[in-house]
Amino acid sequence: MEDIYKIILYSAFSGITVFLGGLLSKFYGGDFKLTKSKTELFHFITAFGGGILVAAIALVLVPRGMEKLNLLFLILAFITGALIVFLIDRKLQKSGNSLSQLMAMLLDFIPEAIALGALFATDPKTGILLAVFIGLQNLPESFNSFQDLKTSGLSEKKSLIILFFLSFSGVLGAIIGFLFLKDLPEVTGFLMVFASGGILYLIFQDIAPNVKLEKSWLPALGANLGFLIGMIGEKLIQ
């Protein structure tokens, strides 16, 4: 039972940042564009999250998935992840729904959390690294999700309540992964590559276009910092 407690602990850490990102957005989100420095900081945080996402794809999700899947299922998983996120994103845009950031966060958070639980059973060090990646990427995503929820007509209190309960969905996903997928490495690998396809689409569709600022180079450096943290984490577990 010791392993299950560790999984709950690490997945709770990776999930609680969903709520923390919402809190940061509540207190600071509305004022970020009032000054140039605050705008730069907001774009830096967004780029940092993008860098973490790229690191998660390049250093954990795809490499582990490629170890477990043959070429056919590797292609199928990646394309399926990208297409599902694309179709949902397109549907939301056509309907004028403002919850695209929230949906985007859940579409990569939940598969990653399930993979986290399954991975933790066989490779705890990599599982911990993935938990850190998930936690860091949730911060900027939930920051934007809180603003989406407000735009959709919800009060700040209700928006925070939604993010609070969603933060625990990662714990549930990790427990499911640990209990049911720890002996199914191919399924775990499929989920990792599936999540990678969806994440990569979101990076270039939603994150990267919103990072650039005229006459400012700080946001782009945020992506480098995010990826560097991923490299450091990967090196430490080797």
Give pLDDT tens digits for 57-67: 998 889 989 99
Mean pLDDT (whole number) for 142-157: 82
* Percent with pLDDT over 90 in the chain: 17
C-beta separation of 117 from 176 below 8 A: yes
Indicate the DSSP class of residue 99. Answer: -
Give pLDDT tens digits for 219-231: 778 888 888 888 8
**pLDDT(216) > 80:** no
**pLDDT(10) > 70:** yes
pTM metric for this prediction: 0.83
Indicate the DSSP class of residue 184. Answer: -
User: H-type helices in 96-205, by residue range?
Assistant: 100-122, 124-151, 156-166, 169-181, 185-202
Give pLDDT tens digits for 20-66: 988 888 877 665 445 666 677 777 877 888 888 888 899 888 998 99
Mean pLDDT, the chain, whole residue set: 83
